[in-house]
Chain A
Amino acid sequence: MWLWFSKLGSPKWFYELTTKWLPWLVVFMAVSMTVGLVWALLFVPEDYQQGFTNRIFYVHVPVASISLASFPLMAVAGVITMVWKMKLADMVAKCAAPIGAWFTAVALITGAVWGQPTWGTWWVWDARLTSLLLQFFLLIGVIALRSAIESPDAAAKACALLAVVGAINVPIIKYSVEWWNTLHQPATDLTMNENGANGPEIWVPLLIMIAAVYCFFAVSLILATRNEILMRERRSQWVMDIVAKAKV
């Protein structure tokens, strides 16, 4: 049972597998992103209250959702780093931090841009907004911690521990809108249809945008991890072979 696990941890195996699959993922991302953006930004019907401001929702929700997933991803990679000392897990964790920070920033900014016309304010210190801002600072902290420690092994361990501890914030962000009263609305239940709200004309483009943004995150993470692999394994034979081939 541990064979596939150790294979999965081999940077070379990851590099070769992603070389094969990356083009397909990019094509799927490009198609779903184009369809999703055109549909969401040009054709989604006007909301009965917000007017066309509701179109921000089609960027904000997918981005916020994947930014929440980036921290558990780092935490899982961190546990693997600490327990099994797998090199690939630390490379993924290192690359996920800045990407997650960007997604969190975009979620905060699109939320503020939506909040101004809808609520009447860019920012309010409610539980949802504050806890997501905390996640942004935690991600900046992980990046800073990584560059502050010189030894790569020590940096990997410190960041892994911070990721595990910081991941406790994720359920707080997710359930903040239910545990406390906030200005931010609770998550929309897309299966609930009896009152006529949130019908297919609302959720189908959202689903496409979620698929597109998740793929965008995956592609960014894979590309960054591949660079990290080449950088860290630059003295191994198989990387030298790739570099030699590329030079010809």
Chain B
Amino acid sequence: MKPHRRKKLTIIAFIATGLSVAIGLSLYALSNNIDLFFTPTQVAAGEVATGQRIRIGGMVKEGSVVRNEESLHVEFIATDYNNDLQVRYDGILPDLFREGQGVVAEGMVADGVFQASRVLAKHDENYMSVEVKAAMDAAEKDRADAVPAGESNGS
């Protein structure tokens, strides 16, 4: 390689590395602002001021969804498996809102309860056909039936 080309290449490498480091450090410093939502653990740790508009995210706890039969009012628990957060919402839930699936809600914390003004469903990275899901559920049921009651702990 000719010297003037080597020099140019070095300059470009320096610019690219320098900028990458600068951008990397700023993104690291801003990571709290880049995160889309707070987790229930962060809310429990008091990282969020009461009355501040935020988004929270977590899984909808199995068996926690309570719907009001006369209105759109719904309550459920968002969890990250360390901490739980009670969520209240008056509005239409997205089609993919399910127990055991991810959720992101916009709103604010008041008296330890999250009052949501908007709820979005979060999809995970797993895709499965209806048939495969049915077969897996059937297999799981068989396994559960095969273990007699009382012997299931510790397995």
State the majority secondary structure of interface residues on B. Answer: mixed
Contact with B along A38-66 (1 / 0, CB 8 A): 00000001111110001001000000000
**Contacts known (A120-B119, A168-B20); A83 close to B131, Cβ less than 8 A:** no
B125–A186 touching, CB < 8 Å: yes
A164–B15 touching, CB < 8 Å: yes
- Chain A CB within 8 A of B57 CB: yes
A201–B129 touching, CB < 8 Å: yes
Q: How far is the CB of B54 from chain A (nearest CB, A)?
A: 13
Give the size range of A's interface with the partner: 35 or more
A124: B residues at CB distance < 8 A = 36, 104, 120
- Chain B CB within 8 A of A127 CB: yes
A83–B121 touching, CB < 8 Å: no
A180–B123 touching, CB < 8 Å: no
Bound Cα distance A198, B133 (Å): 11
Number of B residues whose C-beta is below 8 Å from A?
A: 42
A10: B residues at CB distance < 8 A = none
Which among B93, B127, B130 has the greatest number of chain A C-beta atoms within 10 A?
Answer: B127
B130: A residues at CB distance < 8 A = 45-48
Bound Cα distance A47, B34 (Å): 31
A189: B residues at CB distance < 8 A = 125
A121: B residues at CB distance < 8 A = 120
